[in-house]
Amino acid sequence: MIKASEIIANTEHLVEPRFEEQYQALIETCKRTLPSVDEELLRRAFLFSYHAHKDVQRKSGEAYISHPLAVAQIVAENISFDDVSVAAALLHDVVEDTHYSLEEIRAWFGSTLETVIDGLTKIGGIFSSRELGQAENVRKLMLSMASDIRVILVKFADRLHNMRTLKSLDLPRRLKIASETLDLFAPLAHRFGLFAIKSELEDLATSILHADEYDAVVRGLQETSEEREAFINSFIGPVRERLQQDGFDFEIYGRSKNVYSILRKMKMQDKPLDEIYDVFAIRIVLSADGSRGKEDCWRVYSIITDLYKPLPERFRDFISVPKSNGYQSLHTTVLGPRGRRVEVQIRTQQMHQIAERGFAAHWRYKEQVTQSDGKLDDFLTWVRDLLENPRPEAATEFVKEFRLNLYHEEIYVFTPRGELLTLPNNATPVDFAFQVHSEVGFHCIGAKVNGRMVPLSHRLTSGDQVEIITSKKQTPNPDWMNFVVTHKARSRVRHWINEKRRKTIELGQDVWRKRARRSRVEADDRALQRAARDLKFPNTQQMFYELGSGLLDPRELVKVLKEGVDAPQESDEPRWQDHFESFLQSAHETGRPGLLIDGELHTDITTKYATCCNPIPGDDVFGFVSKTGAISIHRFTCRNATHLLSTNADRIVQVEWSRQKDVQFVTALRIIGEDRVGMMADITTVISKNLKTNIRSITVDSEDGIFEGTIVLFVSDLDHLHRLISRVKRIGGVHGVFRFEEVGDEA
């Protein structure tokens, strides 16, 4: 074992030629991409890491040092923040995986690198822990960002290289890491503006989680590559000629969208690949920067729209109003040759670097682009705001809101003074009010949008000018939680509601103590819990809340404690959820085709179909082994899939549907449409007569001329179900047809 002092003191330790070559390639990349390079620092970090990991191999069989070298190369090439982040990449696993300590890192590399390595070490194991909930993992990741932004930058590179080399791991581990990557790291890279890393993470994760669909799109793109290339050239030719004539210094090329984006578009539009036309975009990158560059972008836009007819509704100006992650570009969609829609992106070289490398590129361009100086600070402010008032009991909602703020589409609205605010799509005046200031949000009583009074639930759109009307007597309304979308608004309103509830419970306890003294009733906690159950309350807290709210007469509680009374009966009014529960019971009582578990047909293993997603043959599924040994079958699109894949990878098994013919199984459709005469007759005719499908039951509710119903029916496979949905959608007056999904959580 070589001591740290020996490594640092003697920089001539022998290094294998192949790793020396990789290191020299890294230095060349750093010189090309970084604003400055401390070669002595990087050399010492490389030697330290090389000897710390010497004789250790990865699961792929490679020497371990290949990993930190690859991570450092990604940091230098794709992020290009600074040389300290590259050194941190070289050292990122030293403390976690070897005998060297943080004290030695600080002694030989200084406090800054110690802070980064400490952050990376702390978050290094949280995603493999089975004891920590995922929300706590997210919080720790965010805390590490707030301490030093380099921590998350190196973590992105680490995750990307791990995804590139994932094939050496077993299936459960691959599924866990891929699911976590798609669910958290890709959206987070998007929020940082790291487009290239985000796109590659999405594609690599999709190739594992949805391998068949991914491979089908890749094959389809390869089969049409020559035709697509010819079309791109025919579009680019006239543009290149005009730009050259006008003396522009530029690059122009066609860029295919990543497979993940294409798959999402196919699913959202319910179309096959050959009907998705915007699978690529034309990008024009101009050499000029600064104010001259912006002017040139608009001049190029004018040339494009002279050559091809633009679609005004598809124009986006992200130069005048950049995205919150710093992205700048002009986007327009035009009708190209043969009437095909083509997206064109116009930007300067500087904008392009920021688009690919996000916040990290702002560091490099800081002196030239003063308007971007605050972008990183704004992001860290957002991180710290999300961390305020964390509530352990709201872990799931915390993570949900975190992801919402990562991957949202943005709108741009103005204050009465003309100041610009960026908000998520579907934001309301209440979200706007809290964005201005918490006190404005707490006391907002009304809003004017473009000079017109609107309800507080009104959805804002880009370009709106919003004026908030406040009153000192106004307090947050719990109904606001039904429509606000920003984390800041939701957390502030929720905190107010919880605080009000706490005070009401305390008031209820005080009311009860006074009534109990007057009635000479003594009741301990156990007696009060029994009384709460008798009165049909879920717990004593809710009982005291209703006492404090005046909804429960304390005399009723006295009566229950003294004498005991018959419990109030629940309403016999049918609930919509009951329809689904009835459907689930019948669905799971019906015979299902067999399953291949790890490639083999097992008859001695108990399997059940998860009620949270009700999988059917043809669905992309996986198995989750319960503590009793039974296997629960889930769809990969199930709302519980991410949690199971991320936290219980060792209990995941590969499952496929066996090929059995003439098997019918129960599923359900949820249909919404106009409540017109003959509607149900039209629907049942299409299902029963036209598509020869047996209907098991129909349930319909109607209100204000709109009906909503469920049809439980027998289908043979997923293709059969898709044909049904497609055909019913074409019936006049039908607004939506959906596969019936359960709303609640799985027990």
Q: What is the DSSP string of 593-626?
A: --EEETTEE-SSS-EEE-TTT---TTS-EEEEE-
What distances in angstroms separate CA 257 from CA 203, 263, 277, 279, 595, one per listed residue? 10, 10, 11, 6, 35
For residues 596 and 656, is the Cβ–Cβ distance under 8 A?
Answer: yes
The predicted structure's pLDDT at residue 431: 93
The pLDDT value given to residue 554: 85
Q: Which range (404-418, 448-462, 560-574) has the least confidence?
A: 560-574
How is residue 99 annotated by DSSP? S
Please, what is the average pLDDT of the chain? 79
The yes-or-no verdict on residue 60 having pLDDT over 60 is yes
Q: Which of 97, 556, 656, 717 is catalytic?
A: 97
Residue 634 and residue 620: Cα distance in Å, rounded? 9
Q: Look at strands 280-286 and 341-348 and give their pairing.
A: parallel
Options 3.40.50.1000, 2.40.50.140, 3.30.70.260, 3.30.750.24; CATH of 665-739: 3.30.70.260
Q: Summarize the confidence of residues 389-409 as an average pLDDT.
A: 51
**Catalytic residue of the set 96, 499, 650, 701:** 96
Q: Give the pLDDT band of residue 284 (cuts 50, 70, 90).
A: very high
Which of 140-144, 270-274, 742-746 shows the highest mean pLDDT?
270-274
Task: Say what the pTM is.
Answer: 0.60
DSSP secondary structure code for residue 554 in this structure: H
pLDDT at 432: 94
pLDDT in tens, 302-335: 999 999 999 888 888 888 888 777 788 999 999 9
The reply to whether 96 belongs to the active site is yes
Does 605 or 555 have the greater pLDDT score? 555
Quickly state the pLDDT bin for 235 (edges 50, 70, 90): very high
Do 631 and 615 touch, CB atoms closer than 8 A?
no
- Domains 218-373 and 665-739 in one fold: no
pLDDT of residue 139: 59
CATH number among 3.40.190.10, 3.40.50.2000, 1.20.1090.10, 3.30.460.10, domain 218-373 = 3.30.460.10
Out of 369-378, 426-435, 478-487, 714-723, pick the least confident: 369-378
Question: Is the Cβ–Cβ distance between 221 and 279 less than 8 Å?
Answer: yes
pLDDT of 407 above 70: no
pLDDT band at 385 (very low <50, low <70, confident <90, very high): low
More confident residue, 667 or 368: 667
Highest mean pLDDT of the ranges 108-122, 364-378, 380-394:
108-122
Q: Bigger pLDDT: 375 or 522?
A: 522
Residue 744 has pLDDT above 60, yes or no: no
Residue 6 confidence (pLDDT): 60
Residue 626 has pLDDT above 80, yes or no: no
Q: Where are the domains of the chain?
A: 4-168, 218-373, 495-562, 591-657, 665-739
Coil, helix or strand for 93?
coil
Give me the pLDDT at residue 394, please.
45
Helix axis angle, 525-534 to 554-562, nearest 10°: 110
CATH of domain 4-168: 1.10.3210.10
Confidence at residue 241, expressed as pLDDT on a 0 to 100 scale: 94
Distance CA 366, CA 351 (A): 13
pLDDT at 566: 40
User: CA nearest 76: which of 66, 88, 65?
Assistant: 88
Tokens of 81: 């923040």
- State yes or no: is 227 an active-site residue: no
Compute the average pLDDT of residues 710-729: 84
pLDDT of residue 132: 38
Q: With 80 as the cut, is the pLDDT of residue 706 above it?
A: no
Q: Which residues pair with 710 in a beta bridge?
A: 670, 699
Q: Choose between 365 and 600: higher pLDDT.
A: 600
Band of residue 267 on the pLDDT scale cut at 50, 70, 90:
confident
Average pLDDT over residues 640-645: 72
Helix (H/G/I), strand (E/B), else coil: 454:
strand
Helices (H) and strands (E) counted in the chain, each on its own, are 31, 21
Mean pLDDT of 292-307: 92
How confident is the model over 183-205, as a mean pLDDT?
Answer: 86
Is there a contact between 333 and 323 (Cβ–Cβ < 8 Å)?
no
- Distance separating alpha carbons of residues 498 and 493, to the nearest angstrom: 9
pLDDT at 578 > cutoff 60: no
Cα 710 from Cα 31, distance rounded (Å): 64
Which whole-number Å values give the CA distances from 97 to 8, 93, 110, 398, 716, in the listed order?
Answer: 19, 6, 20, 31, 52
Rounded mean pLDDT, 60-72: 90
Average pLDDT in the 237-250 region?
Answer: 93
State how far the Cα of 145 lies from the Cα of 706, in Å rounded to an integer: 48
Specify whether the CB–CB gap between 330 and 347 falls below 8 A: yes
Closest CA to 194 of 362, 33, 73, 367: 362
CA distance 361 to 350: 9
Contacts of 245 (CB under 8 A, 6+ apart): none
Exposure letters 143-172 (e unless 16+ CB within 10 A, then b): bbbbebbbbbbbbbbbbbbbbebbeebeeb
